[in-house]
Amino acid sequence: MNIISIFDPAVVCTFAVSVIVFCSWFTLFYKKVARTERETAYSCALLSSSVTFTCSLPLVYTLLTNGGNLSDILMYRTWTVLATTFFMAFLFLDLILGSIFYRNKLEWLTSWVHHIVYLGTLTWAIHQQYCSIFIMMCSLELPTFLLALGSVRSQFRRDYLFATAFVSTRIIFHAYAIRCAYRMDASFNPIVMALSAFFPIHCFWFYGFIKQQIRLAKQRKAGNKAVSCNNEKTLVPSKQRSVTARKITSTMQKATTKAMTSSLNKLNQYTNIIQQRKGMASNTVTGIQTRSASSYLRPTSPTSSFQPQQRQHTSPPVSVH
């Protein structure tokens, strides 16, 4: 039985499983890999674009090998409905997780308007059984994968590779798919209108990419000129550099010698002063010791100090009668 509603149990179960897969991937990426808000913003896009681009390869091969007959692609395939549901889960979670973890990276046109319009378009595609056409057009997710990979790790960014993939898928292959759809019915059927509606957006995005590359090229050129001018101003001939180096070396040697001589003179002065002070201190101590010894060792008369004085008795005068 063909699936023609988003409320079909297979669609609901696939959506629930896809939400679990994306949440688990985002949690692991957010905790272990992502370092900036930009890297976090492209985590789910990296997984979604890799899966949907891989799913598109068999259908792209069929279209290129059957002469562009889109009727073979329109045949009902259940797995394309499930892959479409997987992409719808990404669109839904990108808005929810982005509102919480990387709000600054959610742009109004490329995120909110783009995702909501795509959710409505894919709901219509499931109802009309056009999911095989959508999955075939998921080959356009190759530039998204390269952009997400370069945003997650800058060492993988290759602008020329992104530009090549963008032109090959979103310009050339997209135009070829519109031609095949128009040739199938020779009128502006819903498939032609749906494919044609998104083609100008891709052209506008590529125009913005070209302007970005021109601006970056001008900035690099201006930066190289500034560096070149600075190098020319500061450039010194080799002989002059050697002379200047010798002068600087000689000046430094003279200054060093002068400083060392001054330091030695000051050290000698301090040594003499210390020796003089030591000599004065030793003379003072010697004098004190000498005076103390002389006071204790000077000889004294034993009777002069301790013998009491004797009175002198005089006899009265003798009178002669």
Gap between the Cα atoms of 74 and 59, Å rounded:
10
Gap between the Cα atoms of 134 and 118, Å rounded:
11
Residue linked to tokens 């602008």: 159
Give yes or no for residue 122 having a pLDDT over 90: yes
Give the angle 141-145-146 at the CA atoms, nearest 5°: 120
Residue 274 in any domain: the answer is no
Confidence class of residue 231 from pLDDT cuts 50, 70 and 90? low
Task: Give the start-end residues of each E strand in the chain.
Answer: none
Q: In which domain, by residue range, is 56 found? A: 9-232
Picking from 8, 177, 11, the residue whose alpha carbon sits closest to that of residue 79 is 11
Residue 188 in any domain: the answer is yes
- For residue 27, the SS3 value is helix
Number of domains in the chain: 1
What DSSP state is assigned to residue 310?
A: P
Q: What is the pLDDT of residue 185?
A: 75
In Å, what is the CA distance from 272 to each residue of 157, 265, 267, 275? 75, 11, 9, 5
Residue linked to tokens 């013998």: 307
Residue 242 in any domain: the answer is no
Gap between the Cα atoms of 97 and 43, Å rounded:
11
What DSSP state is assigned to residue 170?
A: I
Give the angle 116-121-122 at the CA atoms, nearest 5°: 100
In Å, what is the CA distance from 164 to each residue of 90, 146, 316? 25, 11, 162
Q: What is the pLDDT of residue 266?
A: 76
Residue 78 in any domain: the answer is yes
Residue 147 in any domain: the answer is yes
Q: What is the pLDDT of residues 97-109, one digit of tens each?
A: 999 999 999 988 8
Q: Which pTM does this prediction carry?
A: 0.69
Residue 151 in any domain: the answer is yes
Confidence class of residue 278 from pLDDT cuts 50, 70 and 90? confident
Largest pairwise CA distance in the chain? 203
Contact 81, 167 (CB under 8 A): no
Confidence class of residue 245 from pLDDT cuts 50, 70 and 90? low
What DSSP state is assigned to residue 298?
A: -
Choice among 32-41, 109-118, 162-171, 250-259 with the minimum mean pLDDT:
250-259
Contacts with 161 (C-beta within 8 Å, 6 or more apart), sequence order: 146
Q: Computed over its alpha carbons, how large is the radius of gyration of the chain? A: 51
Q: What are phi and psi of 157, to 5 degrees?
A: -80, 125
Residue 143 in any domain: the answer is yes
Residue 94 amino acid letter: D
Q: What is the pLDDT of residues 38-81, one digit of tens each?
A: 999 999 999 999 999 999 999 999 999 999 999 999 999 999 99
What's the whole-number mean pLDDT along residues 122-137?
Answer: 96
Residue 1 in any domain: the answer is no
